[in-house]
Amino acid sequence: MIIYYKNETNLTKYTEQSHNTQLYKDGTFLTKIGFKKRIYPDIYFHSGSLNEFSKRLIINSKITIVNSRILKDAICKTLQISENKIEVILPAYEPKKYKKKEIQKAFKEKYMIDMEKKIIYFTAKDFERNGFKYFCTIINNLEMTNWKAVISTSDEKQMIYAKEFLTHHKLLNDVILINEEIFDVADIFILPTIVENFSLSVLKAMAHKCVVFSTRNNNAIEIMDVFSIMNGQKDSNISYKIDMLLRVEDEIKKIKKENFQIASKLTPTYQREKLNKIIEKLAL
């Protein structure tokens, strides 16, 4: 079975470990000039943007796997190909078992946060592209005060950028800056991103029983409730919605539970079972 992927994932690793595979190569000089027939992949794991190379692979591979229905629909429309050419396997994440209340208690004690306050969280690899300044606008517009914002990054440049921005906008006292991810501690995760690729952070947050808000352009909205989808980075209703949640404890609990139930289905086992069905269907 010939496969191709640009970025290695747990799913591509599993495919190579559990099946007899070889990685597609785009061909020798003889192939490129037409003297040797090009043999395309049986399965192409597509990620990233559409370029001429990826378009050619999608059109000629037996099946292409993408990580969202939104992406599948966009590719089918752009390339005018049958839906049968593309299969969707959503991203997967399975957190370790833990007791959220206990971890929250320890975290709040460590950083001297009032036990009644909710943790509003932001993290990203690229703060600017993922809407850090809009996150700051959202928390700055909150009327309620029973919250503490936490921002995390292990990247020194992102940390410097965050500190300078928070200092300039006089928000540093409202925010705790740390190096490690704290989805297991957070109550509300906000990602006002311009990035279209399915954000794994959204799935992580949901799996850790967080309320999640993110922008409509991100493909992760496929697993989110309509209430949580932002109409752009400047959506002024988000501060109002968060204020409402900070007033009504039962509503936060309800959304957390619903998000956890959705995310708990998207495990590595789900991915493997779906992949094996695709391979069986192709009779590879």
List the domain range (segments joined by +) for residue 27. Answer: 2-90+268-282
CATH number of the domain at 173, please: 3.40.50.2000
What is the reported pLDDT for 49?
86
Do 221 and 188 lie in one domain? The reply is yes
Do 277 and 259 lie in one domain? The reply is no
What is the reported pLDDT for 27?
63
Does 195 map to a domain?
A: yes
Does 212 map to a domain?
A: yes
Q: What is the mean pLDDT of the chain?
A: 94
Determine the Cα–Cα distance for residues 128 and 218; give it in Å rounded to an integer.
15
Task: Give per-residue pLDDT as tens, 12-36.
Answer: 999 999 999 999 988 654 355 454 5
Query: Would you say 275 and 15 are in contact if contact means Cβ atoms under 8 Å apart?
Result: yes
The residue among 28, 20, 23, 18 whose CA lies nearest residue 8 is 23
DSSP string, 115-178: TTPEEEEEE-SSTTTTTHHHHHHHHHT----SEEEEEE-S-HHHHHHHHHHHHHTT-GGGEEEE
Do 58 and 166 lie in one domain? The reply is no
Does 95 map to a domain?
A: no
Do 84 and 104 lie in one domain? The reply is no
What is the reported pLDDT for 222?
96
Do 15 and 139 lie in one domain? The reply is no
Does 193 map to a domain?
A: yes
What is the reported pLDDT for 29?
42
Do 64 and 110 lie in one domain? The reply is no
Mean pLDDT within 173-192 = 96
124 pLDDT more than 50: yes
Do 49 and 113 lie in one domain? The reply is no
Band (pLDDT 50/70/90 cuts) for residue 242 is: very high
What is the reported pLDDT for 30?
38
Task: Give per-residue pLDDT as tens, 140-172.
Answer: 999 999 999 999 999 999 999 999 999 999 998
Does 139 map to a domain?
A: yes
DSSP string, the chain: -EEEESS--HHHHHHHHHS--EE-----HHHHTTSS-----SEEE--S---HHHHHHHHHSSEEEES-HHHHHHHHHHHT--GGGEEE------PPP--HHHHHHHHHHHTT--TTPEEEEEE-SSTTTTTHHHHHHHHHT----SEEEEEE-S-HHHHHHHHHHHHHTT-GGGEEEESS--TTT-SEEEE-----SPPHHHHHHHHTT-EEEEETTSGGGGGS-GGGEESSTT-THHHHHHHHHHH-HHHHHHHHHHHHHHHTT-SHHHHHHHHHHHHHHHT-
Do 125 and 63 lie in one domain? The reply is no
Does 57 map to a domain?
A: yes
Does 259 map to a domain?
A: yes
Do 46 and 107 lie in one domain? The reply is no
Do 113 and 248 lie in one domain? The reply is yes
Task: Give per-residue pLDDT as tens, 83-122.
Answer: 999 999 999 999 988 899 999 999 999 999 999 999 999 9
Does 205 map to a domain?
A: yes
Number of structural domains found in the chain:
2
Do 105 and 141 lie in one domain? The reply is yes
What is the reported pLDDT for 122?
98
Do 169 and 46 lie in one domain? The reply is no
